[in-house]
Amino acid sequence: MAFITISELIVLAEYLNISPYTYSHYETQDTIIPLKHLIKFCDFFNTSIDYIFKFTNNFTYKNINKKINLKESGKRLKEFRKELNLSQLELANNLNVARTLITEYELGNFLISINVLYTLCNKYKISADYLLGRIDDKIIFNKEK
């Protein structure tokens, strides 16, 4: 993320419902931004998570859904895992997380963590915005990137 002015920082922090101090730590990368804050940040600037993750040069997608549906996100994760012919345990091992966490994500009980989302999308070249249900078109990025 690029550095911003103090007044912009205050506006963004208020929008995210966090302190300017916390936001400044996101900017300086002293703290990892939670996914719920990244989603709101992207909504504020009308940009995609894929753009922020540097998976695409396209700043935004047409018709970004600003509401995250955990059940839809879980369904998409499960479908994608099955397309890869991976068990929950295999995917969990590939992402270095517990299998039970994959189960919870697939059931839509938890919002996927930003670390897991980034690792998953980067490793398998799938759109984070698609997996989260922010866009409807499944995008698989060029594996050469």
| Distance from C-alpha of 145 to C-alpha of 129, rounded to nearest angstrom | 18
Handedness of CA 96, 101, 103, 108 (dihedral sign): negative
Kindly report the CATH number that applies to the domain delimited by 70-131. Answer: 1.10.260.40
- Is residue 127 over pLDDT 80? yes
pTM as predicted: 0.90
pLDDT tens digit string along 44-79? Answer: 999 999 999 999 999 999 999 998 999 999 999 999
